[in-house]
Amino acid sequence: MSIEDIGSAAPKGLCLNNHSITFLKEIAKWTKFLSIIGFVGIGLMILVAFLGEYVSSSIQNSEAFNFEFSGGIGATVFVLVLSVIYFLPVYYLYKFANNMKSALESKDDDQLTSAFEMLKSHYKFLGIFTIVILSIYLIIFLVGFMAAISV
């Protein structure tokens, strides 16, 4: 069977027994809880980003401090970018939880497929993100190594 045929092939005897359904219901509850915590975390990150910018500009405008404080806008933008990046895997997790709960309640195969598609998207995002972060670490290590041997 070719890789293209995997999605269209009819399952051969694969079904969800009561234990699997119970496990999936519990997984859906926990993933919904974790995704809601993730959304709250994103909200707090955005709040901290703007509060940090406000505090930073207040310190700069204060006469009590006569030093130059920089990085407020850069830090705000950095935290906002992290919030946007963090949103996607949390969203995928939330959609998985909702679709899984709906699929198990209605016994709808399309909903179940949609739930697993969201879970796949969640892990695919995390995998690609991990590769990007490891690549950045490798570049930093190589630059540091080259700088160390050139001294």
Give the whole-angstrom CA distance, residue 49 versus residue 77.
8
Domain housing 125: 18-149
Q: Report if residue 5 sits inside a domain.
A: no
Give the whole-angstrom CA distance, residue 32 versus residue 25.
11
In order of 33, 74, 79, the CA distances from 60 in angstroms are: 40, 15, 20
Bigger pLDDT: 95 or 63?
Answer: 95
Q: Report if residue 3 sits inside a domain.
A: no
User: Based on the structure, what is the number of domains in the chain?
Assistant: 1
Q: Report if residue 44 sits inside a domain.
A: yes
Q: Report if residue 13 sits inside a domain.
A: no
Give the model's pLDDT for residue 1: 42
- pLDDT per position as a tens digit, 83-92: 999 999 999 9
- pLDDT per position as a tens digit, 30-80: 999 999 999 999 999 999 888 877 776 666 565 555 555 555 678 888 899
Q: What is the pTM of this model?
A: 0.77
Q: Is the pLDDT of residue 18 over 50?
A: yes
Give the whole-angstrom CA distance, residue 35 versus residue 38.
5
Q: Is the pLDDT of residue 17 over 80?
A: yes
104-128: average pLDDT: 96
Give the model's pLDDT for residue 76: 84
Give the model's pLDDT for residue 5: 54
Q: Report if residue 143 sits inside a domain.
A: yes
If you write DSSP's letter for every residue of 62-77 in order, what string do you get? -SS--S----HHHHHH
Give the model's pLDDT for residue 85: 94
Q: Report if residue 1 sits inside a domain.
A: no
Q: Report if residue 12 sits inside a domain.
A: no
- pLDDT per position as a tens digit, 121-139: 999 999 999 999 999 999 9
Q: Report if residue 78 sits inside a domain.
A: yes
